[in-house]
Chains A and B, each alone.
Chain A
């Protein structure tokens, strides 16, 4: 379906067009958000927030980027906002446990299992998700959009508003960082 057809009715507040947009993008948004948040419940909440933002802001959409790019951008921003908010709460909790020694560089393996990962890779994927969570923000965005959501480098460039060489560089550094973090993890474990 051509997404440009949807823009005008969406800007006029057409509910049917909004339903079509949600049908078209719900899995893409959910999968992207899940790639960042590693929690199905949080991902559903934030995916809803993304569509509410799309609904409220569609009148300001001028078509400078593709609709899909714009939606991915909102999804990434909402996910990062949520992560920052959670980290602030963790920092506050740090004061409560001031004397508790914790290593912030250590990978924190969670119970999260991405539903799209094949069974034999689930254990390794959990470790990889924990390592991705420790990457710098830009590397995390590029790696998640490319590897988890399956966007091409060109699409990642458009979402991140970066040049192709910048995205390639981000991906290279992300892989190097992941290798180092995984080496430390497997060496100590």
Chain B
């Protein structure tokens, strides 16, 4: 029991003294170059995330989407009008706009 305690004490002592001859760690080579590159990226900020072709593509896509929306809305109104005309022609041809069935016999 006592030897176990002594053994643990020795391990603790060895562990605590493991830093006694520690040497300073050095950065990897070209640290300054990487640092400057990071600073440049941060300086350009948010817009640096996009290249010019990416930005042009994004603008063109939004424009195309707006055109498609506009086309669909116009076309829908035109179809709705022409459908209404067809329905009224059908109603008058078959005389189904009559309020009362006895009106036909009069």
Q: Which residues of A contact B (CB under 8 A)?
A: 19, 22-23, 26-28, 30-31, 34, 44, 47-48, 51-52, 55, 114-118, 121, 124-125, 127-128, 131, 147-150, 175, 178-179, 182-183, 186-187
Interface centre among A28, A118, A182 (most CB of B within 10 A): A182
If the complex has contacts A26-B32, A44-B27, are A175 and B19 also in contact, measured as CB distance less than 8 A? Answer: no
A82 to chain B, nearest CB (A): 16
Q: Are B24 and A27 in contact (CB under 8 A)?
A: yes
Q: Are B26 and A30 in contact (CB under 8 A)?
A: yes
How many A-B contacts at CB < 8 Å in the complex? Answer: 87
Interface of A, secondary structure class, is: helix
B18 within 8 A of A: yes
A187 to B38, CA, bound (A): 47
Interface size class of B (residues with CB under 8 A): 20 to 34
Known: A23-B32, A27-B26, A125-B19. 6 other contacts (CB 8 A): A44-B28, A48-B31, A48-B34, A117-B19, A125-B18, A147-B22
Closest to B38 in A: A48
If the complex has contacts A31-B24, A52-B42, A55-B39, are A128 and B31 also in contact, measured as CB distance less than 8 A? Answer: no
Q: Are A128 and B18 in contact (CB under 8 A)?
A: yes
Q: Are B24 and A116 in contact (CB under 8 A)?
A: yes
Q: Are B32 and A118 in contact (CB under 8 A)?
A: no
9-residue interface stretch from B9-17, B80-88, B89-97: B9-17
Q: Are A178 and B16 in contact (CB under 8 A)?
A: yes
